[in-house]
Amino acid sequence: MRYRTLGRTGIEVSVHCLGTMMFGAIGNPDHDDSTRVIHAALDAGINFVDTADMYSAGESEEIVGKALRGRRDDVVLATKVHFPMGEGRNRGGNSRRWIVKEVEDSLRRLQTDWIDLYQIHRPDENTDVEETLSALSDLVHQGKIRAFGCSTFPAEDLVEAHHVAEHRGLLRFRTEQPPYSILARGIERSLLPVCERYGMGVLTWSPLAAGFLTGKYRKARNVDMDNGRAALQPFRFDPELPENAAKYEAVEQLAELASDLGRTLPELAVAFAATHPAVTSVIIGPRTQAQLEGLLKGAHLTLDDATLDRIDEIVPPGTDLYRADAAWTPRSLADPARRRRPLAERSAS
């Protein structure tokens, strides 16, 4: 296993990080089996584990907490906050009120006194970033977290956050966690260069393109739209949708390339995500031991320039063949009123 320094934090982490979203009700509900997968990852040299409060409504954090008993000091532990936890108002977002409340719940579920990397899971337009940075800075000073970062933030939001931190004397985001794969390379345009400029660590998620690079979904096969990811996200997998045609064509060419290398498509995908110089660690999210073992094979693969040139021909740099983050939409796109004539003009018409 290779290791890299997480931005300028001085913390060394494995180039591949164990993502635990699939441990719990939405993936593997067997706590003992999930624990065995976590232990196998640690035994393979992974020292970086990423979870979130909202994964299976806290169950993932509970599983991780049990699995790390006796091994906590050897692990760089990351979790996240933002998405709603339960019914009612003020039970989500990036406010000081919620962050201070939810970090205590995460510490309890994880059975630890500190979190190495506490991440803001998504932007929150209702909360001033100064409010968020101030709360996170206080948690560092209190020793409850060691560093903090963000996840799936636009490049412009990172620039604003760094500007606010500098002018208000606050600690700053040390990491960013964006989606990144061969089929979703949009972050190469501005996000990754911005992270490099500010010395931020980058841990990427979804190297298998939400399942599209597993090799299960191929143009020549009948895609079962009634089960698995295809049933949950038909807009991504339905071969009848024109927007999926480019993805299926790219997968065919990538599968051929992987075969020429004597590798599987997932191995190629996992290796690619760790190649960009701005990327510190690639999150892999297995549900089973067998999936972990398959993904770890990609962790030991280094792609040469000829292979990377061929990938660039199949999916040009900076190109997104699908919308990588379907869990969040900026209000500027989600709210039609944000991109139409001013409210006063609409009221008068």
Would you state the structure tokens that stand for residue 105, as one six-digit string? 């719940």
Could you tell me which of 208, 188, 228 has the C-alpha nearest to residue 285?
A: 208
336 pLDDT band (50/70/90 cuts)?
Answer: confident
Residue 220's pLDDT is 62
The residue that leads in pLDDT, 214 or 299, is: 214
- Known active-site residue 118: no
pLDDT at 155 over 80: yes
% of the chain residues with pLDDT over 90: 79
Question: Do β-strands 48-50 and 16-19 pair in parallel, antiparallel, or remain unpaired?
Answer: parallel
Catalytic residue among 3, 55, 118, 180: 55
Residue 224's pLDDT is 72
Instruction: Give φ, ψ of 261 to 5 degrees.
Output: -85, -5
Q: Report how far residue 124's alpha carbon sits from residue 95's, in angstroms, rounded to the nearest whole number.
A: 9
Q: How many CB atoms lie within 10 A of CB 190?
A: 15
**pTM (global) more than 0.75:** yes
pLDDT at 346 over 70: no
pLDDT at 347 over 70: no
Residue 188's pLDDT is 97
Residue 148's pLDDT is 98
pLDDT at 93 over 90: yes
